[in-house]
Structure 1
Amino acid sequence: MSCLCCCVGVCRYPLGMSGGQIQDEDISASSQWSETTAARYGRLDFEEGDGAWCPEMSVEPDNVKEFLQIDLRSLHFITLVGTQGRHAGGMGNEFAQMYKIKYSRDGSRWISWRNRQGKQVIEGNRNAYDIVLKDLEPPIIARFVRFMPVTDHSMNVCMRVELYGCEWLDGLVSYNAPVGEQMTLPTYPVYLNDSVYDGAIIYRCVMTEGLGQLTDGVCGLDDFALSHVYNVWPGYDYVGWNNESFPSEYVEIMFEFDRIRNFTTMKVHCNNMFSWHVKTFRQVVCYFRSESDWEATPLTFSPVMDEKNPSARFVTVNLANHMASAIKCQFYFADAWMLFSEITFQSGTETISGLIWLIQGRTSSYVHILSASLKSVSACFLEENPTHKVDDSNTRILIGCLVAIIFILVAIIVIILWRQVWQKMLEKVSSSLKKCTVQYDTDTSPCMLSYGVKFCVPAATSTSASKSTTTTVVQDGVPHYAEADIVNLQGVTGSNTYAIPAVTMDLLSGKDVAVEEFPRKLLTFKEKLGEGQFGEVHLCEAEGMQEFMNKEFLFDISEDQPVLVAVKMLRSDANKNARNDFLKEIKIMSRLKDPNIIRLLAVCIYSDPLCMITEYMENGDLNQFLSRHEPEGQLALLSNAPTVSFNNLCYMATQIASGMKYLSSLNFVHRDLATRNCLVGKNYTIKIADFGMSRNLYSGDYYRIQGRAVLPIRWMSWESILLGKFTTASDVWAFGVTLWEILNFCKEQPYSQLTDEQVIENTGEFFRDQKRQIYLPQPVLCPDSLYKIMLSCWRRNTKERPSFQEIHRALLEIQP
C-alpha cells in the first residue's frame, strides 16, 4: 500500500485477530484472570477458552495499567478497530464500556491515540456480544497496538478485539519539519498547523520524531480554507509555511524510514491557489543517507509551474533509485505560501516487505508464502503492461530474480528457526526455578539469585580455564534477594526496603527506639494500600498525632485536625522471625531523618497487632501522580489534562537523589527504588517510601517466580539480577530507571517491548559486554544532559557509576 489519499476508505482489511493470521505469541497482556482468559483469547468473534481476554484485577477509575497488546510484526496503516465483550454462551457478561489506545512503531516509545478534537477515550461496548466498530480519525501508523480498558467506577472487564487496515509499505517512521503557521484571510484566520502530529514539538517551532497529517491519508481540497473533516477549523487539511519565516527560502523536511530502501518516487500533494499567493514548490533538493553519512551530491528536481489551474495536485519527484534509510528534502518557495497535505514514497522493496512479515508470523506456511511471492514478483514484472507478451530476455531476468528471492527466503527461514530454538532454551532456563542443583562457572556464566534459587543465563563460550563449582540450592520458602553480607529484614509488606550491612546493624542494635507509643483508638482506617506475606498497609487518619510528634515535624493543618498516615500492621499469625524483623525495621526507620525520606512517626507495640505509623503524602505515589498528568504543551491544552512542567520534573528527581544521598551516607541500600515507591505531597514535595511491592496495582512490575512477585527486574542492575549483588551502585542504576520513568510521565513500563525473560537475557549482554545490550531510549522530553546522567547510572562497571552526591549536584546544575 502506498497511501495516495484514497487509502482511508479502502485500507480497512481485518489484520488477523479473528482470522488467525496474527499468532498467539504476538498477542500479550499486562495480566490475566486465568489461563483460560489469557491474551490469546482476545480475538474478535471467537469463543475459545473462557471467551475473551480478562485482566487479573478489576479495572479502577483513572487506572490504565491493564492492556491487551498486539504485535503486527511490521508497520501498518490502521484505520478502524473493533471490540467485543465476553459472552461465553451466556456464562459471561463482562465488557469494556470505554477504552484508550496506545501505539508504538519501534516498541520503545508509546503514543496515546487522540482523535482530531484531542480526546483519548473511545466509546466501547454496551453488552457482551455485539461487535462495535470505531473509525480511527486520525488513523495510526504502528507495529504495536495496545487496547486499554477505562471505567468511571470499579468493574470487571473483558475484551475481544480486531484491527483493520493494511500494511504501511512506505516504511516511513517519522518526519521532522517546521511547525505550520497561521494565515490571515480577510474574513477569518486559517490555521495550517500539523494538529495530529504524534512526535515532539521543540521550542514551539520544530516537529520531530513523529508522523501526522502529511501521512494521514487525507488530501486537502482545492480550497485550502475548507476541509474534508467536519467540526474542525479552516485550513485543517494542510500544513503550511510562509516564506517570510524562512530566510533561506526553503522548508526542510527530513524523512526517516524503517530500513534502507531503493526509492523510485516521492509524491507531494500541494495546494495551488495562486490567487491567494499559494503555489507548489518551484524546486526541491533531496539528500540521501544510507548508513551514517549523507551523500555529498543531492538530487535536484524542478516541477512545471502552473498559474492557470488552481486545483490541488500531486507533484511526483523522481528519486532515481537512490538507496537510503533517510531523506532530507529542501522545498523552495514559488510564492508567499507553500501548503502540503500528503507526502508518500514508493520504493522497489515494497513487493517483498509483506512477504517477510508473513514468514516471521508463521513459519509453518513456507510453501504457501513461496508460491505467493512468486506470483507477486511476476505481477511486478508485468505491472506496466499486463497484456504484453514476455520475451526471452525478460523470462531469463524473471527466473534469475525468483531464484535470488528463494535463496533469501531460505536464509530468513533458517534465522527464524534458530531464534525459535534460542527462545525455547531461554524458556527452559526460566522454568528451572525450582528446587535444584545448579552447576555454574564462576568466571563465564552469569547467574541469578532469587527466591532461594540460583540459575544461570547462557553465557558466551570462553576458552579460558576457570574454576567450576557445584552448588546445591534448597528453596527456603522465603522470597529474598540480597548479597551475603547484608542483613535481610523481611518487611511487613513483603519487601525489605532498606538492606543494612551487618556491621551497620550491629551499631544500631544497642540503641533504643526513639519513637513513642500511639493510642490505637485514635486511628481511623480509611483504605487498604496493600498487603504482603506478613502483614498489611493501611491509609489511616490519626487524631492528636501532633502531641506525639517530634518538634521538627511541621504539619500544614491545625492541631485539632486528623493527620493522614500510613500504618504497617503485622498479622497476628506472623511467625517469630517476622516479629523480630518487624521490631528491627522499627529501630532502623526511627533512625532515618531526612526531608526526602518517609519518617516513622509513632508505633503501637505494647499489644498485638504490632503497628508502625509513618508519614503519608496526600497526592499518593509518584507513578500514579505523573500518569494522570501531561507535559505542558498544545496536546495538554486540547485535552484539558493537568500538566507538570519540566522544571517541576527536575525538582522531583532532585529530591529523590537527595533522599538517596542520605541513605547511601548511612550505607543503606534501598533495592526497590522506583516511582511507585516515591510519595508526592504539596508543591511537588517527594519522599521515598517502600509500599510499591505490597500493592496489587504494581504486581506486574515484579518478576514472578512460582506465582509470587519477587524481583523488580526492570529496575535492577545486571549484577543484582545475575550475581545477587545489591549495593549503593545498584541503587544508582535503579535511580536512572526512575529518572527515565519521570521523563516519560510514567506512561509506560521500562523495557515495555521486552518480556521478563528478554529483560534477563539483556542483563546477560551487560555481563558479556559485547556492545549488544539494550538501553532504555532517550525520552522525548529529555534533554541530552539528563540522558547522559541516565546512561552514567547504567554503566557496566559499578565503580564507574556516579555517586548519589554527584547525581544530586548534577541535577541541581540542570535546574533552571
Structure 2
Amino acid sequence: MHLFLLLILPVPAVIGQIDPGMTYLQKEASQPAGYGGFLLTRVFLEHCRYALGMEDGRIKDEDITASSQWYDTTGPQYARLHCDNGDGAWCPKGPLEPSDSQYLQIDLKKLTFLTLIGTQGRYAGNLGKEFAQEYRLNYSRDGQLWKSWKNRQGQGVLFGNKNTYAVSSNDLKPPIIARFVRLIFREKLGEGQFGEVHLCEAEGLPDFLREGSPLQDRDRRSVLVAVKQLRADATSQARNDFLKEIKIMSRLDDPNIIRLLCVCVSSDPLCMVTEYMENGDLNMFLSQREIESTLTHANNIPSVSLSDLLHMAVQISSGMRYLASLNFVHRDLATRNCLLDRRLTIKIADFGMSRNLYSSDYYRIQGRAVLPIRWMAWESILLGKFTTASDVWAFGVTLWEVFTLCKEQPYSLLSDEQVIENSGEFFRNQGRQVFLYAPPLCPPSLFELMMRCWSRNILDRPTFEGLYQALRPQVNP
C-alpha cells in the first residue's frame, strides 16, 4: 500500500475546548498576562487550514520516518502530496506479526495544532494503482506517550481514498495538538472481479466462533484475518459467483488450506472472513532471508535451511493434492498466495488478483482480467484453459520461487510481452521455448520434477499426488 500525507496548520499551543466551532489557545506570552503567564486567544477552526509543508518540502526528509519500507525508492521521504519521485510513494513491507503496526510518522519539530489530514494514492507517473481506503491516527507531544485519535462518537477509523489520484481530506473533530503524528493502517491485500480483500485485526473472534474453530488457542487475543468483500456495484453474476465461492470454501478442511471463519450473507455488502497467518506470505518471508550458514548464524541474519525449503514444498504439494481431490482449480498458485504461521506451517490461500505489493506479477491482457502470466501454463495464456494440470505448471514455478528464496521474479529477463510470446513457443514445441533456470540451492532431482511440471503435453505432467509422494521422502523426519 502506498500513501501520501498532508497535514494542516502549525500553531505552537496547548488546547482547551470551550465552545463548539471555536477554540481558545493557551499561548506562552513574553510578559505574564493573567492565568499564570498565559494569553488566551480565540481561533475559529474554519480558518485553520494552512498546509504544513509535506508537499512543498518544508517538512524535511529526515523528519519523515516509517515502520518499514519495501525498497529505497519507496521510502518514507517519497510520502508527499502530488510527488512522483522514486516509485511515486512510500510503500511498507506489510505486517508480519499480529502486534506489528505499519505506520508513516512525521516529526513536526514543535507542538502543532492540527485540524485536517489528507491522503493520496500511489501516483507514479499515472501508472500507480494503490491507495489506502482507511487508516488510524496516533499522535504524541514528546515521542514517548502516544494517544489514538477518536472522533466525538468514539470512532477512530478515518476513511481514505476511493481511487488512486484524488486527494481525500478528513477534518479532525476534535482537532489535536501534537509534535509527532503517525498514520497507521492494515494492508489492502487485493482487488479482483468480485471486490476487495483487506487485512484486518479482529477482537473477540475466537469467542464468537463455535467450539473446534482454528482460533481456539488464541486466548481471546486479537487475530489477523482477511476480509473479502463484494463491491456494491457488483453484477448479479458476480454476486452468484461470490456465493458459490463461499459454498466451495465452506467445504475445505485441510491443514494446508486457509480456513473460512465466518460469512455475512444476510445483508450487503456480502463478505467472508478467513484466517491470516502471523508470518505473512511466503514470498515476503523468503525474500527477507538467506540460506542457513555460519555467516548467517554469526551475524544474526534471518535464515532458512534446505530442509525448511523442502518441508515447505511438501506442504504446498499436500494442500494442492487435497484441492485436486475435490476437482478444485486454484488458478493463482504462487508464493504470494501461501501463508505461514509462526511454526512455518503453510496454508494455501487466494486473496484475489492485483495484490498491491505484487501488482507487477499480473498482466492485463486486452479484453480479459489481469492474469499472473509468469506462473501460467501455455494453454491457460493462449486458450484460457485452467485445469488441475495448469495448477501443476504453477506449482513448478512456485517451487522455483522457493528455491531462489524469492529473490527475483520468474522470467525476470523477459518482458510481459516476451513471456506471452514464449507461451507460443511452448505450444509450437520446436525447441525455442525458454525455461526457468535451475536454482543453485535446488537438488537436481527436484529440478527434474519442476521440468516435468512444465511439460508441453498435459498428460506428461505429474499429478499432485505424484508430486507429494516424490517430495515427501526428501524431508528429514
TM range (shorter): 0.5 to 0.7
1:599 equivalenced with 2:278 (yes/no): no
Q: Within 2, Cα distance between the matches of 1:555 and 1:739?
A: 29
Find 1:808's aligned residue among 465, 468, 474.
468
The residue correspondences of 1:247-646 to structure 2 (distance < 5 A) are: 526-555=186-215, 557-633=217-293, 636=296, 640-646=300-306
Q: Which moved more, 1:734-743 or 1:706-715?
A: 706-715
1:401-425 CA-partner distances (Å, limit 9, x unpaired): xxxxxxxxxxxxxxxxxxxxxxxxx
Contact residue 229 and residue 272 of structure 2 kept, 8 A = yes
- Residues 1:582 and 1:673: Cα distance change in structure 2 (over 3 Å): same
1:61 equivalenced with 2:52 (yes/no): no
Find 1:94's aligned residue among 72, 85, 98.
85
- Residues 1:93 and 1:592: Cα distance change in structure 2 (over 3 Å): closer
Match of 2:107 in 1: none
Report the AA paired with residue 735 of structure 1: F
Find 1:713's aligned residue among 358, 373, 376.
373
- Residues 1:777 and 1:651: Cα distance change in structure 2 (over 3 Å): same
- Residues 1:708 and 1:633: Cα distance change in structure 2 (over 3 Å): farther
Find 2:363's aligned residue among 694, 703, 708.
703
Q: Give the TM-score of the pair, scaled to structure 2.
A: 0.60
Q: Within 1, Cα distance between the matches of 2:187 and 2:231?
A: 17
Match of 1:786 in 2: 446
Contact residue 60 and residue 155 of structure 1 kept, 8 A = no
Match of 1:658 in 2: 318
Match of 1:207 in 2: none
C-alpha deviation, 1:537, in angstroms: 1.2
C-alpha deviation, 1:639, in angstroms: 6.0
- Residues 1:157 and 1:566: Cα distance change in structure 2 (over 3 Å): closer
Q: Within 2, Cα distance between the matches of 1:708 and 1:640?
A: 46
1:11-33 CA-partner distances (Å, limit 9, x unpaired): xxxxxxxxxxxxxxxxxxxxxxx
Q: Which moved more, 1:660-669 or 1:706-715?
A: 706-715
Q: Within 2, Cα distance between the matches of 1:764 and 1:644?
A: 37
Q: Within 1, Cα distance between the matches of 2:186 and 2:72?
A: 24
Q: Within 1, Cα distance between the matches of 2:206 and 2:215?
A: 8
- Residues 1:66 and 1:808: Cα distance change in structure 2 (over 3 Å): farther
- Residues 1:95 and 1:676: Cα distance change in structure 2 (over 3 Å): closer
Match of 1:476 in 2: none
1:746 equivalenced with 2:406 (yes/no): yes
C-alpha deviation, 1:659, in angstroms: 0.5
Q: Within 1, Cα distance between the matches of 2:324 and 2:456?
A: 20
- Residues 1:60 and 1:703: Cα distance change in structure 2 (over 3 Å): farther
Q: Within 2, Cα distance between the matches of 1:690 and 1:572?
A: 21
Contact residue 692 and residue 698 of structure 1 kept, 8 A = no
Q: Within 2, Cα distance between the matches of 1:93 and 1:695?
A: 21
Q: Within 2, Cα distance between the matches of 1:750 and 1:714?
A: 6
Q: Within 2, Cα distance between the matches of 1:637 and 1:546?
A: 37
- Residues 1:65 and 1:568: Cα distance change in structure 2 (over 3 Å): farther
3-state secondary structure, aligned to 1:679: strand
Contact residue 651 and residue 815 of structure 1 kept, 8 A = yes
- Residues 1:574 and 1:812: Cα distance change in structure 2 (over 3 Å): same
3-state secondary structure, aligned to 1:697: helix
1:415-450 CA-partner distances (Å, limit 9, x unpaired): xxxxxxxxxxxxxxxxxxxxxxxxxxxxxxxxxxxx
Q: Cα RMSD (Å) of the superposition?
A: 3.1
3-state secondary structure, aligned to 1:614: strand
- Residues 1:93 and 1:651: Cα distance change in structure 2 (over 3 Å): closer
Q: Within 2, Cα distance between the matches of 1:527 and 1:574?
A: 22
1:180-202 CA-partner distances (Å, limit 9, x unpaired): xxxxxxxxxxxxxxxxxxxxxxx
Q: Within 2, Cα distance between the matches of 1:701 and 1:65?
A: 20
C-alpha deviation, 1:758, in angstroms: 1.3
Contact residue 590 and residue 600 of structure 1 kept, 8 A = yes
Find 1:672's aligned residue among 315, 332, 335.
332
Report the AA paired with residue 582 of structure 1: F
Report the AA paired with residue 741 of structure 1: E
- Residues 1:542 and 1:790: Cα distance change in structure 2 (over 3 Å): same
Contact residue 73 and residue 86 of structure 2 kept, 8 A = no
C-alpha deviation, 1:94, in angstroms: 3.4
C-alpha deviation, 1:60, in angstroms: 9.2
3-state secondary structure, aligned to 2:343: helix
Report the AA paired with residue 681 of structure 1: D
Contact residue 393 and residue 453 of structure 2 kept, 8 A = yes
3-state secondary structure, aligned to 1:684: coil
3-state secondary structure, aligned to 1:561: coil
1:32-61 CA-partner distances (Å, limit 9, x unpaired): xxxxxxxxxxxxxxxxxxxxxxxxxxx993
C-alpha deviation, 1:544, in angstroms: 2.9
Find 1:737's aligned residue among 397, 404, 416.
397
Contact residue 751 and residue 759 of structure 1 kept, 8 A = yes
C-alpha deviation, 1:571, in angstroms: 2.1
Contact residue 620 and residue 681 of structure 1 kept, 8 A = yes
Q: Within 2, Cα distance between the matches of 1:708 and 1:61?
A: 35
Q: Within 2, Cα distance between the matches of 1:809 and 1:727?
A: 21
Q: Within 2, Cα distance between the matches of 1:754 and 1:66?
A: 22
Q: Within 2, Cα distance between the matches of 1:704 and 1:751?
A: 17
3-state secondary structure, aligned to 1:546: helix
Q: Give the TM-score of the pair, scaled to structure 1.
A: 0.36
C-alpha deviation, 1:551, in angstroms: 3.9
1:723 equivalenced with 2:358 (yes/no): no
**% same residue:** 64
1:598-624 CA-partner distances (Å, limit 9, x unpaired): 111111122221111111111111111
Match of 1:383 in 2: none
Number of equivalent positions: 315
3-state secondary structure, aligned to 2:199: strand
1:739-775 CA-partner distances (Å, limit 9, x unpaired): 0000001110000011112112212221121222111
3-state secondary structure, aligned to 1:536: strand
3-state secondary structure, aligned to 1:746: coil
Q: Within 1, Cα distance between the matches of 2:328 and 2:353?
A: 19
Report the AA paired with residue 85 of structure 2: E
- Residues 1:811 and 1:640: Cα distance change in structure 2 (over 3 Å): same
Find 2:418's aligned residue among 755, 758, 777.
758
- Residues 1:558 and 1:709: Cα distance change in structure 2 (over 3 Å): same
Contact residue 83 and residue 123 of structure 2 kept, 8 A = no
The residue correspondences of 1:209-224 to structure 2 (distance < 5 A) are: none
C-alpha deviation, 1:563, in angstroms: 2.6
Structure showing greater Rg: 1
- Residues 1:614 and 1:65: Cα distance change in structure 2 (over 3 Å): farther
C-alpha deviation, 1:546, in angstroms: 2.4
C-alpha deviation, 1:531, in angstroms: 2.6
C-alpha deviation, 1:705, in angstroms: 3.0
Q: Within 1, Cα distance between the matches of 2:333 and 2:220?
A: 35
Contact residue 281 and residue 337 of structure 2 kept, 8 A = yes
Report the AA paired with residue 240 of structure 2: N
C-alpha deviation, 1:92, in angstroms: 6.9
Report the AA paired with residue 785 of structure 1: S
- Residues 1:65 and 1:634: Cα distance change in structure 2 (over 3 Å): farther
Contact residue 334 and residue 394 of structure 2 kept, 8 A = yes
Q: Within 2, Cα distance between the matches of 1:767 and 1:603?
A: 42
1:77-128 CA-partner distances (Å, limit 9, x unpaired): xxxxxxxx99xxxx978359xxxxxxxxxxxxxxxxxxxxxxxxxxxxxxxx
Any stretches of 5+ residues in structure 1 without a counterpart? 1-58, 68-84, 97-153, 160-524
Report the AA paired with residue 623 of structure 1: N
C-alpha deviation, 1:675, in angstroms: 0.5
Contact residue 678 and residue 689 of structure 1 kept, 8 A = yes
3-state secondary structure, aligned to 1:565: strand
C-alpha deviation, 1:727, in angstroms: 1.1
